[in-house]
Copies of this chain bind each other. A is one copy, B any other.
Amino acid sequence: MTDKRRRRLPRSVREQEIIDAALGVFSKRGYRAAVVDEIADLAGISKPMVYLYLGSKEGLFIACVRRESQRLAAAFREAAQAGDSPEQRLWAGLGAFFAFVAEHRDSWVVLHRQAPEQGEAIAQEIADARRSVMAEVNGLVRDGITKGGEADRLGEQEADFVAHALVGAADSLTDWMERHPGEPPERVTVRLMNVMWVGMRNVLAGEVWAPPQPDA
């Protein structure tokens, strides 16, 4: 690829390559089953380098989560900035999300598909990452709900609910996309907006759904 034959690289570069390799292995095997030797091999160096640069397996994992979390948040935020209605911002944000996940599946798996009980530090880091994604979406939904600028009484809890539903749906659709490789991310976005946004909009407009009355 970059260069044949064992070539020495400056730390800043090698570190990123190690994290790249780790991302692949963690995503494929999960934290516990991932083997540091394999990561080192993939990065083209030997194990002690990993420990010299990243400190420990845990540190390595945290570095992955942190880097990818920032990348995702950046992609999302940047996309959502453009667009001048809440609707457009949500659309752009979701679009960026699907595009990101389609292109960096490993990142998403490491960020959101890990059993987060591998020690305090890791749990903390993953919780932060999720919170940050959720907060981003939550903000957009809030803007969409509070039409105009009125006081949001229960809008707070409502937005959190919808944000969870949205993020979960998006996560799951990530699998759907894998089984429909033809489908471009934009179409997935449009479809999801069709269900969720239309639902939200109409519910806000007063078209509530209520369970069919049991008897009376």
Contact = CB atoms under 8 A, between A and B. Distances in A.
A64 to B, nearest CB: 14
Contacts of A165: 169, 172-173, 192, 195-196
Interface string A30-45: 1111000000000000
B195 A210 contact: no
Contact of A202 (B118, B167, B198): B198
Interface string A190-216: 111111111110110001111110000
A135 to B, nearest CB: 14
A29 to B, nearest CB: 6
Interface string A3-29: 000000000000000000000000011
Copies of this subunit: 2
Contacts of A114: 115
A165 to B, nearest CB: 4
A102 interface: no
Interface in A158-178: 160-162, 164-173, 175-176
B209 A29 contact: no
A88 interface: yes
A113 interface: yes
A108 to B, nearest CB: 13
A179 to B, nearest CB: 9
Interface of A: 28-33, 83, 85, 87-88, 91, 109, 113-115, 117-118, 157, 160-162, 164-173, 175-176, 180, 186, 190-200, 202-203, 207-212
Given A30-B115, A33-B118, A168-B172, 15 more contacts: A29-B115, A30-B30, A30-B31, A30-B32, A32-B32, A85-B212, A88-B212, A164-B169, A168-B169, A168-B171, A171-B172, A194-B209, A195-B200, A197-B209, A199-B202
